[in-house]
């Protein structure tokens, strides 16, 4: 039995068509088939948030989403939103506030926070922490990250 599927989707604004194993998850597809290695694989259980990407306008766990589920959809990764400049303000605030953590956790954090800034622009510090609570880093107390969100908001928004 052929366990492959043909998928067509848009990734970072570009049309992509590939044949993938039906069991391939979205983050592996992005990393290994498309070479977009900004999204990472940590727990593979939907816990750590390292695999966070945006699909059809909302963030999803790339490890719990099959590539086949993205068929016909629109996916954005950290590479794409960096190229468009969409989250430039947030990225700059991360640098200025020294909120930048490692390359493993930061891409997912940025995608999560950009969604939060759009959906809940007036979130207070506790609410920011709550929103980012699905993006794990054991190396930070998250203070600088919350500071960076507030700084980016003061300057305009994510961009
Ligand atoms: S790798 Fe997906 S949530 Fe941890
Ligand atoms: S997991 Fe990225 S700095 Fe801690």
How far apart (Å, rounded) are the C-alpha atoms in residues 18 and 23?
Answer: 14
State both tokens at 36.
């977009």
Q: Which ligand is nearest to the CA of 104?
A: 2
The residue whose CA has the least distance to atom 1 of ligand 2 is 137
Atom number, ligand 2, closest to the C-alpha of residue 139: 4
- 85-97: b or e for each residue (b if 16 or more CB lie within 10 Å)? ebbebbbebbeeb
Q: Which residues line ligand 1 (CB under 6 A)?
A: 41-44, 46-51, 61, 63
State pTM to two decimals.
0.95
pLDDT tens per residue across all 159 residues of the chain: 779 999 999 999 999 999 999 999 999 999 999 999 999 999 999 999 999 999 999 999 999 999 999 999 999 999 999 999 999 999 999 999 999 889 999 999 999 999 999 999 999 999 999 999 999 998 888 999 999 999 999 987 555
């Amino acid at each position: 039995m052929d366990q492959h599927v043909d998928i067509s989707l848009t990734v970072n604004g570009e049309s992509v068509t590939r044949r993938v194993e039906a069991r391939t998850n979205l983050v592996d597809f992005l990393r290994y088939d498309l070479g977009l290695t900004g999204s990472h694989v940590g727990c593979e259980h939907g816990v750590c948030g390292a695999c966070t990407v945006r699909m059809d306008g909302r963030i999803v766990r790339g490890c719990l989403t099959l590539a086949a589920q993205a068929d016909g959809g629109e996916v954005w990764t950290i590479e794409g939103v960096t190229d468009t400049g969409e989250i430039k303000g947030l990225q700059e605030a991360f640098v200025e506030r020294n909120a930048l953590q490692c390359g493993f956790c930061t891409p997912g954090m940025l995608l999560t926070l950009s969604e939060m800034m759009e959906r809940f622009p007036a979130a207070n510090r506790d609410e920011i922490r709550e929103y980012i609570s699905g993006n794990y880093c054991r190396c930070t107390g998250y203070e600088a990250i919350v500071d960076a969100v507030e700084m980016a908001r003061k300057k305009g928004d994510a961009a």
